[in-house]
Amino acid sequence: MNIAAYCRVSTDSADQLNSLDAQKRFFAEYCAKTGETLARMYADEGISGTKVRNRREFLKMMEDAERGLFELVVVKDISRFARNTVDLLQNIRRLKTLGIETLFLTANMTSMGSSEFVLTIFGALAQEESANTSKRVKFGKRVNAEKGRVPNIVYGYDKTAGDFFNLRVNEAEAALVRRIFALYTDEGHGAFKIAALLNESDSRTKRGNRWSQNAVCRVLTNELYSGLVVNGKQEVADFLTGQRVKRDAADWMVHERPDLRIVEPEVFERVQEIKRSRGQTFKVNGGRHSNKHLFSTLIKCSECGWSFRRTLRTYKNTYVRWVCSGHNERGAASCQNAVTLDEDEMIGVLQTYFVKLLGRKENTAAHMVRELERLYRAKGGDTGYERELCVNLERLRRSRQKYMDMYADDLITRDELNERIGASRGKIAHLEGELHMLAHRQAKYEHLQSMLRDTFRGPEDIIDVRRMTNAQIKSIVQKIEVDRHGGVDIFLRPLN
């Protein structure tokens, strides 16, 4: 008789793989004793038994059963076949319809010779064992999260062999992380463009793969790079399906780890602001972020709201012009704005506009410096206020950590923990927000002062628009609106 043997281990650790080898040897010895012909052995490595769809070898075995390659399936234990009662019964029934029997050697049970009731009982026991394992794993993860222990593999960090709860900064990778943040904030690139730039320089991810848009996004949104270990954002709602649900931010477990900081918190927050802004822009009017050309997504049509697009003509002479995307793609019935803007003329208009705006530069510079100082002081730019915020924040954090340690040592219950630290969560978030705002204002204040010094050195030093990048011009100009009669309005970005 041709038989098929199936074996499975749920992780790919060395011990479990040794167990898989032992199962394979067991079936080889079994066939030698019984004289059966082993048509094929199917083995899934590092795969959970709760979901059939992830078990490639199991699915291959069921396909081969349809083709009649064997008459018997031999499994050492019911839990190796499935830890989901429904999957167990469905697949055994499917094999039965094909005339194929399933033999579970440990229980000395066959699918055709034993009642389905007995199989259901054994399958339910296997499923309950998996449920208990899931609970133990979830509990262990929760304890580790409450103690601020770190994730396993993160780009920019290394783990010491044998130390599963700590990371150390990998300086070479950390430099690339800082470059990713700079490309996003300073040069205005999106995640797709950044991934392309990294791949052009032959950079690879932690696992040696090419960079993707999703991989770059994971870097840009990981709080660990700002020195925060955040655990408990999601939890498994159903261990059988693996479905995960998001938890409320108030229930996240956050620990400060300045030793793991690669980028400053204000830089990380700036990235999140940019991401939210770009997402909101796309959600509201379908506008996509782009910095490919000098005026990309900067020139807007006042008739339909769409951005102008760049067109290049090379007939006899080269012409670079900008036209309304709505009119160009959907026709005059959708948008009547048929205005064509010459790029050289637009650059000249902006150059003249900036020169006019910066006329009488000495008085303008003095006035702007005084106004900046007034606004900065009015919005809390005071070191005394900052010290007061830091003292209050540190006091609340120490109190919160004390109760977290008490809970980790089983001195108080979860309800008591929530009762004691519940009120402090909002206060901590408020103080952290105030400090972030102060840091942001201070950085902007210093940046603007530097810009003023550089801008008002003399007429010969006025900025050349042609040498600006899309990100630089967007930091000054909010948008350029063009109506169907050729009127052009330039809106500067407010300094707030």
Residues marked active site are found at 10
Pairing of strands 168-169, 109-110: unpaired
Burial pattern 369-406, b for ≥16 Cβ within 10 A else e, equals eeebeeebeeeebeeeebeebeeebeebbeebeebbee
Contact 181, 220 (CB under 8 A): yes
Contact 74, 264 (CB under 8 A): no
Interatomic CA distance for residues 141 and 366, integer angstroms: 58
Interatomic CA distance for residues 192 and 101, integer angstroms: 52
Interatomic CA distance for residues 484 and 182, integer angstroms: 38
Query: By C-alpha distance, which of 62, 72, 74 is closest to 27?
Result: 74
Phi, psi (degrees; rounded to nearest 5) at 108? 50, 50
Pairing of strands 477-482, 299-301: parallel
Q: Quick check: helix, strand or coil at residue 243?
A: strand
Interatomic CA distance for residues 223 and 202, integer angstroms: 26
Name the helix (H) or strand (E) containing 162.
Answer: none
Interatomic CA distance for residues 173 and 205, integer angstroms: 9
* Distance (Å) of CA 433 to CA 141, 271, 302, 396, 427: 29, 16, 37, 14, 10
